[in-house]
Amino acid sequence: MTSAPLLTLGYTLAPADALAYETLRRELVGWRKWLLLVWLGGAAGLVAFLPPDWVGPEWGWRFWLAALLLVGVAYALATAVMTAAAHLRARRRLSVPVAATLAQWGDHLEATLGGRPSFVAYETIANVVVGQRHVFVQFGRDVLIVPERAFGSHHDMVAFGEEIDRLSREAAH
């Protein structure tokens, strides 16, 4: 183990950075996926309760148009709820800007966020996501968010993310 970190970064982490993490594209899994499917299916099923004057004959073009319209409205509402939930999660994660430092050591990362230190061994890293303007290092139920502005360039940010990903995969084996 070296006596000095391989890399040290200092930056201010803003609520917008937390929002960038919370709005990452993720696959819906588990109960959330089923809830969305039941929600959309229920919206489509509502067409059976609409007056026949509105939907016309069963399985006709107006029937399908009404079903698609109901599913579209339900999808828009679900999207609005999921977006609001992401904003709330981001606000809980980081409500005000805080000073952050990140030191890369030979066998772990050492992060300090608002004076609270945390140590992340490479083998505990579950996933590293290199986004457009951030590197997200996911470990356990937490995440290190490192914005592009902490690096000298976008290339440096991408290289850092790829190196941490490689080190975490090597440490896991």
Q: CATH code at 104?
A: 2.30.29.30
73 shares its domain with 117 = no
Residues 16 and 83 in one domain: no
State the Cα–Cα distance between residues 74 and 78, nearest whole angstrom: 6
At residue 25 the predicted structure's pLDDT band, cuts being 50, 70 and 90, is: confident
Q: What is the pLDDT of residues 47-81, one digit of tens each?
A: 989 998 888 888 888 999 999 999 999 999 999 99
pLDDT in the model for residue 173:
76
Residue 119 lies inside a defined structural domain of this protein: yes
Last-in-domain residue among 93, 125, 153 = 93
* Mean pLDDT, all residues of the chain: 93
The pLDDT of residue 121 is above 80: yes
Instruction: Please check the confidence at residue 172 and state whether its pLDDT lies above 70.
Output: yes
Q: Is the confidence at residue 41, as pLDDT, over 60?
A: yes
- The two three-digit tokens of residue 88, written as one number: 């709330």
Q: Which of 76, 93, 110 is the last residue of a domain?
A: 93
- C-alpha to C-alpha distance for 135 and 160, rounded to whole angstroms: 8
Q: How many domains does the chain have?
A: 2
Q: Which two tokens stand for residue 56?
A: 């016309």
Residue 137 falls within a domain, yes or no? yes
Q: How much is the pLDDT for 2? A: 54
Tell me which residue of 123, 99, 124, 122 sits closest to 109, measured CA to CA: 122
pTM of the predicted model, to two decimals?
0.81
One domain, residues 89 and 129: no
Where on the phi/psi map is residue 117: left (φ > 0), alpha (ψ -120 to 50), or beta?
A: beta
